[in-house]
Structure 1
């Protein structure tokens, strides 16, 4: 008994793309039904489709207010889509297989290897077990803490429901919330409990399950892998530097930090620095931020979270490799060394490829949207596009006013950002063949 599906001759990337597409279509059909909506009417398919894409990709951009427009049934469907999309449908399928004690086949291990972005199948099932354990443990603990805090503002049953929904949403780095009117966490701007719980969920979900597993083993091994060192270092630098930049840029802005005391300023600066990593929660009005701050947050969204996490973006490891390559070139070194480990040229080429493809996608989509969404500022469009690509969910307030074409374009952007540009390219491109010859080396003048 289990989910044994014959995928014919589909490659692992093709199976992952097809699986996510089917989940999105299923979610769209369910969300458009009257039972999913508070008004008891059918939701337009394009809005249901956009919401399903946003939930399954763990983004959080909303064309319909989740807290006021969807019924509890629709909200639970969105929460389940976030969970399946954030952890990966193959991870959830493995959970079902493990519950029914079914053996994981070789084909399924290959799919899991691709889904978790691993170099080999060794220990992949053990990693999936840890992924499921960490996710459920962290979400459960956060749900209880949220419920206790929210119980001061609402009946306990509602507080528990809100706690579960937001724990799932934020651990999976999604921006969906139930507070209504697209307020997110703005009513808890200076609340230490909500800020700490939320930031902890976003950071742990964005670090990646490989890093969480490595940290759990640290007591026995007394060392971290190169991957974990890079992720933790870059994540820490981005969060701290981001908070400092936001604090400086917004310190005197009366619409954001200017009206808060020192405690509120610090909480808000750190929260807005953590959120673009890639969760759409916010405690300040994004549209009221100064343009310099908005553009800086845009950069953070583009970098995103870490590999094998619930977040998107080009990833922290890619950004670290790019910075390292620049520093090595400036110093006249022919090799890139991080934490006393030399990186292969293939890693550098892959980082450059991912970044260039991401830039091409974001710029192309922003240019197209600037044509379809006339009357909207280009910074707002670029911000929305980057948020969709990074599966962040932050917005300057234009999502609800998008045209049908704009919704479809951003849906494709979210889908691409969640799966990864290379995964999509491998799925749609021809099978790789072995190169049987080498061309003569040529020389070009650069710079």
Structure 2
């Protein structure tokens, strides 16, 4: 199987490796050894769960706690970890640790999988990713232990803490606590803030971690006040944009949720003021593709759901565990549209000019993502016409953005609708553009460099 993958191109290798992990996870979860004696899950339920785990989405037709025993939940943890870090990065890590050389094609596959600009020094990069991932998840699990061990006992408390830490960092949205996500813990600052911390760290991207760490290490070597003042400017443009967009989107989501749901007794209306702020902040963070919830979205106001969908569509940042079109893509598209309106020649930001190929790629990603969303919405409208349209839109955006929140629609959706959701989750995790390239690359082996006579066309 590995030789079969090696012969494939970069984009096809990413797609096939994802399908391979899903198939393996599905077979393992379908075994009786993975399930509780009282499990009511069907074969389609196991497949849906496997897709959602590997695509780190969080949508499920059957609750984990009611379906899988300890062994099955360990399989769930492994699938979430593979989905969060990427199978290609794991393969590369194993190859490097075995002392083998990795080919240029493999490096390109890893580069595409991790959204890196270059293919240099992968051995150190991958080792650092895995080390920091396990450190951050370990810290998160330790914090969860303070809550779950007193509630569940040592063994179950530790296992639940590990499950939650991996799920939150990988932006997977799964839990083994019950059937209502974290709604029972809406007033618990430890659970809310720890989950939010893990979601943000997993969603900002690995390259941002390394850039911040590199500059912090340099900062420790310099005690001059001027250096301290220049710290933010010394960060790479990518890091500064990611941090800025993350802060803006979380602030926007917190404020709008707080205002719109302030008097809604079905969500946060009956909470004390501090809990309203915490719940609003948590929803803003989880809409970045995490999938946890501390309120019931089926009773949220339509305007709130609409703004949630905008946040889910944008998603997290490149090179991390989040989905969506990514914050950087969204920024480039907005800047491009603004400059077109202003009749500006170049797309500029922070005293830098984005090259034309970058703006073209951002526009293509946005358009392909939107067309995929519309196709999925059309399909779901046909298979489940009785469901409220707004909730169908919410479900489609959640699946494609690998967010995993639902307005209680996933468990009751039709089997045909589940197939569409699985397709959307896979598209959202691998990337619609990557899948499109994998299907059309043979036709595009020879680049079309010829040019015809120019033609004018009325548009707009």
C-alpha RMSD of the superposition:
1.7
Match of 1:309 in 2: 320
Q: 1:120 aligns with which of 106, 118, 121?
A: 118
Distance 1:56 1:215 in 2: 29
Distance 1:106 1:353 in 2: 26
Structural mapping, 1:237-248, within 5 Å: 237-248=248-259
Match of 1:428 in 2: 439
Distance 2:118 2:196 in 1: 32
Match of 1:151 in 2: 149
Q: 1:138 aligns with which of 136, 139, 161?
A: 136
Q: 1:405 aligns with which of 416, 426, 429?
A: 416
Match of 1:194 in 2: 191
Q: 1:108 Cα deviation (Å)?
A: 2.2
Q: What TM-score comes out, normalization by structure 2 length? A: 0.93
Residues 143, 167 of structure 1: 8 Å contact kept: yes
Tell me the matched-pair count. 444
Match of 1:7 in 2: 5
Task: Give the SS at the match of 1:152.
Answer: helix
Structural mapping, 1:214-253, within 5 Å: 214-219=211-216, 220=218, 222=231, 223-253=234-264
Match of 1:103 in 2: 101
Match of 2:22 in 1: 24
Q: 1:175 aligns with which of 148, 170, 173?
A: 173
Distance 1:160 1:234 in 2: 35
Distance 1:124 1:349 in 2: 27
Distance 1:116 1:443 in 2: 41
Distance 1:9 1:42 in 2: 41
Change (3 A) 1:40 1:106: farther
Match of 2:334 in 1: 323
Q: 1:348 Cα deviation (Å)?
A: 1.4
Q: 1:269 Cα deviation (Å)?
A: 0.3
Q: 1:378 aligns with which of 389, 401, 421?
A: 389
Residues 38, 67 of structure 2: 8 Å contact kept: no
| More deviation, 95-104/341-350 | 95-104
Q: 1:275 Cα deviation (Å)?
A: 0.3
Q: 1:437 aligns with which of 450, 453, 456?
A: 450
Residues 380, 398 of structure 1: 8 Å contact kept: yes
Distance 2:38 2:27 in 1: 15
Distance 2:80 2:406 in 1: 18
Distance 1:239 1:58 in 2: 20
Task: Give the SS at the match of 1:114.
Answer: helix
Q: Deviations over 1:348-402 (max 9, x none)?
A: 1111111111111111111111111131111111111110000001000011112
Residues 31, 43 of structure 1: 8 Å contact kept: no
Match of 2:209 in 1: 212
Is the counterpart of residue 390 in structure 1 residue 401 in structure 2? yes
Residues 231, 316 of structure 1: 8 Å contact kept: yes
Distance 2:211 2:235 in 1: 6
Distance 1:66 1:160 in 2: 17
Distance 1:24 1:136 in 2: 23
Q: 1:41 Cα deviation (Å)?
A: 6.6
Residues 96, 123 of structure 2: 8 Å contact kept: no
Q: 1:445 Cα deviation (Å)?
A: 4.1
Q: 1:282 Cα deviation (Å)?
A: 0.9
Match of 1:358 in 2: 369
Q: What TM-score comes out, normalization by structure 1 length? A: 0.95
Distance 2:154 2:189 in 1: 20
Match of 1:268 in 2: 279
Match of 1:46 in 2: 44
Match of 1:165 in 2: 163
Q: 1:42 Cα deviation (Å)?
A: 8.5
Q: Deviations over 1:406-426 (max 9, x none)?
A: 111110110000000111111
Distance 1:8 1:153 in 2: 48
Q: 1:213 Cα deviation (Å)?
A: 1.2
Distance 1:393 1:416 in 2: 14
Distance 2:358 2:413 in 1: 38
Q: 1:443 Cα deviation (Å)?
A: 3.7
Residues 243, 272 of structure 1: 8 Å contact kept: yes
Q: 1:84 aligns with which of 77, 82, 85?
A: 82
Residues 52, 58 of structure 2: 8 Å contact kept: yes
Residues 34, 41 of structure 1: 8 Å contact kept: no
Q: 1:150 Cα deviation (Å)?
A: 1.8
Task: Give the SS at the match of 1:337.
Answer: strand
Structure 1 alignment gaps of length 5 or more: none
Distance 2:96 2:135 in 1: 17
Residues 5, 16 of structure 2: 8 Å contact kept: no
Distance 2:452 2:250 in 1: 44
| More deviation, 150-159/44-53 | 150-159
Change (3 A) 1:259 1:43: closer
Task: Give the SS at the match of 2:348.
Answer: strand
Q: Deviations over 1:320-360 (max 9, x none)?
A: 11121222233331111111110011111111111111111
Task: Give the SS at the match of 2:441.
Answer: coil
